[in-house]
Amino acid sequence: MAYDFDLFVIGAGSGGVRAARIAASLGAKVGIAENLYFGGTCVNVGCVPKKLFVYASEFLEQQEVAKAYGWSQAEPEFNWPTLRDNVKSEVGRLNKIYLSLLNNAGVSIKEGLASFVDEHTVSVAGKNYSAEKILIATGGWPKRPSFSGAEHVLTSNELFSMPALPKRVLVQGGGYIAVEFAGIFNGLGVDTELCYRGPMFLRGFDEEIRTFVAEQLSNKGIELKFNCDIKSIVKADDGTFVVEFNNGESSSYDAVVSAIGRSAKTDALALEKAGVELDKRGFIAVDEHFQTSSKSVYAVGDVIGRVQLTPVALAEGMALAKYWYAGEPLTVDYGNIATAVFCQPNIATVGLTEEQAREQGKSFDVYASNFKPMKHTVSGLDERMLMKLIVDKDTDLILGAHVVGEASGEMVQSVAVAMKAGATKSHFDQTIGIHPTAAEELVTMREARA
């Protein structure tokens, strides 16, 4: 049968664009559909604008640090529209780059909402397109809570375009997004509270890291409410939002942000028409070749819910395209994926936590260092750093590395490379550190924790 395309991709985010570009460069006739924004969540309402907001949120504290180093200055004044609009401009620039990348690769772009007609056909803006293979790369979407008054909450999608910066904000949630935005608001001078239904946020991270970060955020002025959740929200006559918590307490805020997780963005796809099934979590179920329950339909990225990180979606999209059109083995290594949380101070981690190593029956040593970084010996700020290595006693391999502190992501990226190469603690010990840096602590920790 003759198809309009060899490959049709639904979703022009990280995974979809990478797959489309690689496939087209290898000779495939490729189409792609996007109804919202090119570059996906990461470029538009995720990683990129969030990191820019993080930078903005650090300057107020740096002004205080500067005073201890001899810089006298007028009191800083923050202008929210300047930040918002400058970030919007940068996002627009990146949108155009993604569009150019697709055009230059020869990918046929269809703007509009795509849905399945059958397992080889999609409809976009009233027109049908057939393809030998169809790749779903629609990503995720913020979950919305279901309590009374939930219509009043903001999600991460809306935060980058708020008309005004609130004076007092409540953030609901305990994952990356909630913790990062609590830090952003606090750094911008907003009176910030975070509520999380569990006993400690950042579930899945090393327990010591979680506790340490909670202490650091509290020291910076964020009020943390654990074992606490929102029961209801009522909008008052003055425009503020009265939140009643499940512990009986209530308080008023100018804005309430809900960051309780993300779900697969599949509602508009009409998956049933192509015979595509979801797993029990609501993500698209795929096998080791990213094939869905339909033989002609595949999926990558956040929509499959494996590891919801932009670099993972990129790796999956590229590997699949090369497997199809270059005959390369389909291998995506999910082991030792480094990740970071851009709160203040930052968290970066790769490999096993202490708890995971114990659960796996590993015999291991822990090397840890909790210290005040050199900058703050003069600044007077109470911020501290924590570094932690999990080392296999039998093989001396580094099983996990965890850092909390300024530029921790920059450090752990290099550690991740070393771990992929099979680095041992002896290799770390034999490495001469760069002095004076915080990073040298990673190669100078000599005594295992008793």
Quick check: 282 and 263 in contact, CB under 8 A?
yes
Give me the torsion for CA of 25, 28, 29, 35, rounded to 10°: -70
Catalytic entry in 120, 402, 427, 435: 435
Quick check: 245 and 253 in contact, CB under 8 A?
no
Residue 324, SS3? Answer: helix
Give catalytic status of residue 435 as yes or no.
Answer: yes
Residue 300, SS3? Answer: coil
Q: How far apart are CA 326 and CA 395, in angstroms?
A: 38
Chain mean position to CA 358:
27
| Rounded alpha-carbon distances, angstroms, from residue 198 to 172, 228, 271, 450 | 11, 7, 34, 30
Q: How far apart are CA 347 and CA 404, in angstroms?
A: 4
Per DSSP, the residues of 109-132 read EEES-EEEEETTEEEETTEEEEEE
Nearest to 191 by CA among 146, 153, 248, 240: 240
Burial 411-442 (b: 16+ CB within 10 A, else e): bbeebbebbeeebbbeebeeeeeeeeebbebb
Q: How many residues does the chain have?
A: 450
φ, ψ of residue 309 to 5 degrees: the values are -135, 140
- The alpha-helical segments, DSSP class H, found in 351-424 are 354-359, 374-379, 408-420
Residues acting as catalytic residues: 435
